[in-house]
Amino acid sequence: MADSAADTAPVTGDTTIAPDSWVLISGLKTDHRLNGACGKVLKAFDPTKGKYTVRAFLSPAKHDDVLIRPANVAPVPASDMIETVRIACDGERAKFLQSLLFPRQHPMFSQPGNAPVPALLGMPLTVKKVTPVNTLGERADYDNRFATFLMVAPVSGFAPPEWQSYVGPVHVWRPGGEHLTIRDVDVLYDYIYGTLMDLYSERALKPAQHLVPAALRRARLERFPDERPRGTGAAQAPAPSSAASVVGTSSLPAGSVTLPARGASAASAGSAASAGPAASTATSTPAARAPAAGAPAAGGAGSASAASAPAASTSAAAGGPLATAASTVAAGTCTAPGCSAAATCRCSACHAPYCSAACQGAAWATHKAACRPAAATLFTRLLAAPATDGEAAFEIATRFEKGPAAGAPAKDVSKAIDFYWQALEAGNKKATPRLQQLLPALVLQSGQYPSLRPFADKTSWADVRSSPELREDLLELVDELQAHTDALAEEPFRGDIEGMRATAIALGMPNRTAYLRFLTPANVERMRRLYYHPYDRAVARRVGQELCDEGGAQAMSAVYYLFMWTTPYATASRRAGTCAAELFEQAKTFADDSAAAEDMMREAAMFRRREMALLGYPKDVQRMWDGIGDWRD
């Protein structure tokens, strides 16, 4: 007990503080160490004891649950609440990015930052692993790309082994009690992943130019020009992001509260609007996971999702389609009969505006007949969008996944994949997780691997691994195929001829003098077809035959080597090889710690396997070209 005064003493102070509220402790006469500490109310005021149950935080790693009288606690002022961010891992049933508030007096803010690159960029961060909100099964469930890239080393661009796998969810904050918004994390990740990783892979990173605060400020203004005041070149301080209710906050090391809305725009890329998980990731960067395209609700035309993402989070009444709480809804009024309220959401299939999901559900009986024709008209308009419109391409892809209910002429996964590639090329990174989910089935159904034909009905590598029929000797093959499909889905095929030429020269590609003359727009387009249709024997054979007819064996060899050395997944392979080599070298320095050396050697071996796995597809292309002329060197 924090205070041994008689329980019968008169009760003074506020007795209405709710559970989960943050408080400051003061005036204790018997346990002075708690004075000045912050705490979280675990149980409401107990009249029989005359005290609150409070969890007092004494250090980043220590807390005590104590009974304290109302006179010795006071709510933390709103001005002392600091924004932090929780980042979910892939297998969690939680919002991907959550804004959480903690008192400025919390001892966690006294911890130094541990993320080296953010510190160099002027945004020091402390990144801490926390407990998932639900049970995770597969190793892939623990993947957390945001966390991994936040922890990369400035010299190599690789994260330490403990931040590469089995990461799980993390809690991120700024040491010293500065605010950290979702937009801050989003911008930082986008710069590390979208800019620094390319520079690392091309060995073009200049620390004095790319690892300085000014570089991040420039990237932020390019991403969010609304932060630049008119007529000046200075960045404006971003508005604090709003957040929806926090899922599973008890898993955090020191508790959390929901961040209240503070006037941030619903269209802000960093805001976690009340629409749910999809709303907070609608403009997210590559690691932001797009929810799976949902099936239509019972009797409804289709599903909808927050901020025009492909999946829904709440069902409408009466079995109708789900309403979209989106910032992109056009101004207008609800189209439900008898309702004239302002529209705040829309039907995902035809985009008819509604004021709420409940109103949409009530109107489903009258809306149903018009929904599908209107969705088909909208689908036609989307098809007319330019190829550079990544959002339109992404929505077309999700509609091809759903079929006629979403306005597409038919359900066509192959066309969905093509449009996801187009979305990725246009910079819409939401396509990456969808491609990672769809490509396994494409490979399994290709028939390229006879040993995997019994699993042609599976839709993911996890399903294949969990199958009791899978032989142990096939596990390595499945891991290799997953490494390849994941790498393909992460980067689009840019087709930059000058960039490919420079890569071939810099890496010393064999026979480059003779082969580079085959780096033509027509052959680059053929490489694009091979890249975007992995393990499609018909595509590979057609490309091989075209090359043979036009340039014979030399043309086939040239395109094969150019494909093997200059495409994005080849860059990923080299990156994995570099990481393996660095880890092998580091392991040699642990002569006195055999356990640490063994761990590092295992990680190095994992990267070496990934390197070889990513070289596997060109070899399969080579096999698929068998019989088309005598082309191999």
Q: What is the mean pLDDT of residues 562-567?
A: 89
* Closest to 505 in 3D by CA, of 437, 568, 561: 561
**pLDDT tens digit sequence for 2-16:** 554 444 556 777 888
- pLDDT range class, residue 145, cuts 50, 70, 90: confident
Q: At what angle do helices 537-566 and 497-506 cross, to 10 degrees?
A: 60
CB 147 within 8 A of CB 87: yes
pLDDT on residue 228: 72
The pLDDT, as a whole number, for residue 118 is 94
> Mind giving me the DSSP string for 448-498?
S-GGGGGGTT--SHHHHHH-TT--GGGHHHHHHHHHHHHHHHHS-----HH
Lowest mean pLDDT among 4-13, 99-108, 535-544: 4-13
> What pTM did the predictor assign?
0.50
CA angle 442, 443, 448 (to 5 degrees): 130
pLDDT above 80: residue 441: yes
Residues 97/288, Cβ–Cβ less than 8 Å = yes
Evaluate if residue 494 carries a pLDDT over 90. no
Contacts of 144 (CB under 8 A, 6+ apart): 87, 88, 89, 90, 167, 168, 169, 170, 287
Is the pLDDT at 238 greater than 60, yes or no?
no
Identify the burial level of 473 via C-beta atoms within 10 angstroms of its C-beta, where 0-12 means exposed, 13-18 middle and 19 or more buried: exposed
pLDDT at 2: 55
Q: Which parts of 491-567 fold into alpha helices (H)? A: 497-506, 512-515, 521-532, 537-566
pLDDT at 271 over 70: no
pLDDT interval class at 619 (50, 70, 90):
confident
**Percent of the chain clearing pLDDT 90 (strictly above):** 21
Kindly tell me if the per-residue pLDDT of 204 is higher than 90: no
Q: What is the pLDDT of residue 536?
A: 85
Q: Where are the alpha helices (DSSP H) in 111-171?
A: 116-120, 145-150
pLDDT number for residue 300: 35
* pLDDT at residue number 608: 76
Mean of pLDDT over the chain: 78
Please tell me the predicted confidence (pLDDT) of residue 343: 86
* Nearest CA among 151, 43, 55 for reference residue 103: 55
Residue 610 has a pLDDT of: 73
Confidence category of residue 127, pLDDT binned at 50, 70, 90: very high
Residue 325 is predicted with a pLDDT of 40
Q: Please state the three-class secondary structure of 477-490 as a single string.
A: HHHHHHHHHHHHHH
Structure confidence by residue, pLDDT tens digits, 361-409 = 888 888 888 999 999 999 999 999 998 899 999 999 999 998 998 999 9
Rounded Cα gap, residues 268 and 466, in angstroms: 41
Q: List helix spans (H) across 589-631.
A: 594-614, 616-624
pLDDT surpasses 60 at 133 = yes
